[in-house]
Structure 1
Amino acid sequence: MTSHEMRNPLSAILQSADSIVTAFTAMGMPLTGEGLNLSPEIADEIMEAAQIIVLCAQHQKRIVDDILTLSKLDASLLAISPEKVQLPSLLRKALKMYEGTLVHAGIDATLCVEPSYRELGVECVMLDASRLLQIIINLLTNAIKFTQYSEVRRITIKLGACLERPTGNHHKINFIPIRPGRQSPPVVQAEWGNGEDVYVQIAVSDTGEGLKEEELSSLFQRFSQASPKTYKQYGGSGLGLFISRELSELLGGQIGVASTAGNTTFAFFVKAKRCAQEAGGRRPSVPRVPSISDKPISYGRKGSIAPASPPEDHRQGTMSSDTLSFGTHATAGAELPIINGPKGKVPNGDATHAKSDVLHVLVVEDNMVNQRVMSQQLRRAGCVVHVANHGLECLGFLDHTIFCEATTPLSIILLDLEMPTMDGLTCIRHIRERQASGRINKHVPVIAVTANARSEQISVAIAAGMDQVVTKPFRIPELMPQMAALVAEIARLKHG
């Protein structure tokens, strides 16, 4: 209940601030025109204020997520749900989530796939992607926080793999010992498959000021930070590293840190299994990460875009040449972490598969503030938007669309879960029943948009027939490519 009540207003705050930034960017600087006369200084102040609101809302979301995770850990209610994961794509997603922050702070962020990963031919693995992503985000946000004021601003994420349990020697760190009596949550063997065990190693290095020996000893404790000055200078709850340790151990791994002046590396590993199709033998390929030689795009501080070559110091001889570079040498686009349902697997390739096709979106939301804000942002993003206040109105609207041999175009539905008259779960069940009976003539792409972030609630939504679930707060610029990808993938499966 508390999570739901916090996420709903956070979502409206985040999207409203994004709307201000988008509108100002579209109008150009300085903002002048009939009835509007702002000096460049005032326009800059408004833009900066909106960006600060976005950053603060994102920070509050992380706190909510951490507290929810902590409460589950304390109650031994944290479930591990394995799924097929292509790890380079997952790490790209994590970097793209913070692309704007990296650019604003002038930080170069690079993803490096190490030779060990390619030599094992790991294509996809079975593990809990949401928990792994939570660890990565905690480490990445820490790295950004401690690097943004450094003279040299660089973050590197390294991905490796091995068949034996890692010792820490590869990254020259000592893993934190596993707590005595630590028990992993019960797992259903059938969910993991029969693939070969493999250990996935991920390291996040930054060029922040570094940590002293006495500061290292206090890390990974509940509500603990490196030193009292850490909170004064950088803020934070002191939960991120503690939760990262808990999650890494629950996933069959460990976490550790090594630090010197101007260089800190947090590294962890988790236990996974090769996907079923890989179990019979190793494949020599993994999804390609764009190479730095592909001329990544550079973002200017005012949003100008121009091709740029990365600096020579990104070309690390010990790494694979396959890297992804962000920050002052950033590639465009952003992805939102989502949970895929059985009918809506988002492809790992270009999320803008629909190209210039206009998305016709039905927003089903009973909260009038969220409905208005979401609709405005979707229209600014080029969508044609219809609205419904509850599930019954949604079903009535569907009867007049191309899904029911009528003429109104519709590409996708964004469906809230908790609504009066008819809730989202009841609505999606009716939609899928109508599909099965033929009253609806083809699969309707539906993304659940909800403040209910608990894994069991998400599982119920997927089981009811949702293609994907996105939890509030979220950002429309990050949701757009995911909607386009889902619509394109369902169309591809139909014509397959």
Structure 2
Amino acid sequence: MAAPSPGNLSAQQLADISPIGTAVLNVRDEILFSNRRFRELMTCRSRRAFDGWSQSIARGDYERVATAYDTALKANKALRTEYRTGDEPCQWRLLMLTPFSEEELRGLPLGTEGGSYCTITDITEEKRAEISQKKIAEEAQRRKEQQERFIDMISHEVRNPLSAILHCTEDILEAVQQQDQQDIRVKDIAQAAETISLCVAHQKKIVDDVLTFSKLDAEMFTLLPRRVQPRQHLAMSLSMFRPELRKHDIDFEYKLDHSYADCEVDWIIADLDRMSQVLVNLVCNAIKFTAKAGNEKKISVFMGASKSALRRNATNRPEWGEGGMAYIMVAVKDTGIGITEEAQKRLFERFNQATPRTESIYGGSGLGLNVSRRLCHIHGGEIGVSSKEGHGSTFGFFFTVRRSVESAKSKPPRQEPGAIAELCREVQALSHEVTEGTNEITNPAIPTSPEITHVKEVSPSASKDEAWQHTARIAYEAGNTEVMRHSPSLAQSTDQSQYPKQQPSQSPRPPPDATKERRVLVVEDNVINQRIVARKLESMGFRVTAASNGREALAMVQQSTFDCILMDQAMPVMDGNSATRAVRDLEKHGMAHVPVLGVTANVRAEQQAEMKAAGMDDIIHKPYKMRDLCDKIQQLIG
């Protein structure tokens, strides 16, 4: 049968060709005319009843669409609405309802009651593209915000210690330049040097993590294996924490399991610099979360080995040698605040921390654990965590190594098996407990409170010299014994007396009358920076009060009068911007105006604008010289 010519096509045939569903409705929602596409998209049971179209609307959109439709009918207004269908997979529809005008009604069999012209279009592909584009835009925005936070974190974490380094350097130079060389106090110089060492170690960790993270992301990271002794190498890495352990009065122990001797891994081929980076990250976190713990403050590091394959790895290149495979296992246990089960699932994601409050209270970037996990993976290993909120945490990791041919000649002495053996055996289960290929980690079966035997702490009555000699002794002991112990409680306390008053020096000072009875409130969360700045300002004649966060500062402002507030911008509990706004609110209710000098390690213009908008009178950037700080304070207080 020949196809009809265009002149012979009926209105119905022409309408059925259209990809858009069309229909004419009267005021009683009866279909007077519809095309084939309309009926396909509406899934109506009756060719005449339009009310059946509601059956195709997804439950989540029904109320919204029904309300809009009824409102349009009552008001005799046009309607344009999108909705999802209840089909699987989900489909999207665009419904357009246009009332006929009086002129249009004259040519239609609708009488004077009126009616509407309805169209329905399948917009599924367009909506999917829109949703996909929206997700891409949201992800791009999230990445941009992450990048900005990352840059701010790097700026803060690197520039913040620079202030302490700069001020300690000034102290040393002033002491050396004193006219009376007999007045030089070696103890002051030694404390300044130790503070510099602590700050440099912190900066090195941040820089190492950032560089490693960048290389891993760019797939340019390679391991550099070499012959090394893990028990000694890791001990030397741990020695960097001695000042910080002593400062926070945290007990510390480092033990080897008997399996280490059984596996003959005294000398191995591995990239222990990278594995030390993992250990440093874990111990840094342990210190951070144990420092504010309750009565018991203790961190334990255990190391064992296994001959059994724990994970497939790519350490089969020629530079790794032909020695037998072995697996080094390390566990870090602390008595800190612990981690919830839900938070443990997010813990190893980039820029992520246990909870949003973790960063605000304890600081940090949320980068170290992600880097640690990826380093373990590339070294044929894995990392996991076992923790209970309020009862501390145990992080365990293992990595693949090759034995060196000298291993058998330098076999370390065996240690009697004990509870540590069980701990290390359970560390081996990490590869089975961690979900492969995802960011979600289940709890590895590591006991949260393993029984440690033969632990003998250094007597609290030991002399201070013994603590100071510990750094040099720790590496030597690693080569001669499988147990090293350190109790920082023997060191002097971390109160203000730890930082003696500055001796008279040649640093510029303001005139005596300029600082007479001038009270300065130093608000700084970094204890080292806080004490150094307070001591330096006191040496210049200011009366100094210190606060560790904005909330403490706000309480002090309401109790005492200050001539100037030195306000750090990034602090836990309450940041500098929030505290400054609160101070300005108090001034609106009668409190006298007090100048606020903002202190920040962030240099982005947006952040400086936020600080000024919060009510800060001026800003000084870290690192700064004390001369510049003093000049800023003088300008503000007049």
TM-score with structure 2 setting the length: 0.39
Larger radius of gyration: 2
Hey, which of these two has a bigger chunk of helix by percent? 2
- Higher RCO (CA 8 Å, separation ≥ 6 residues): 1
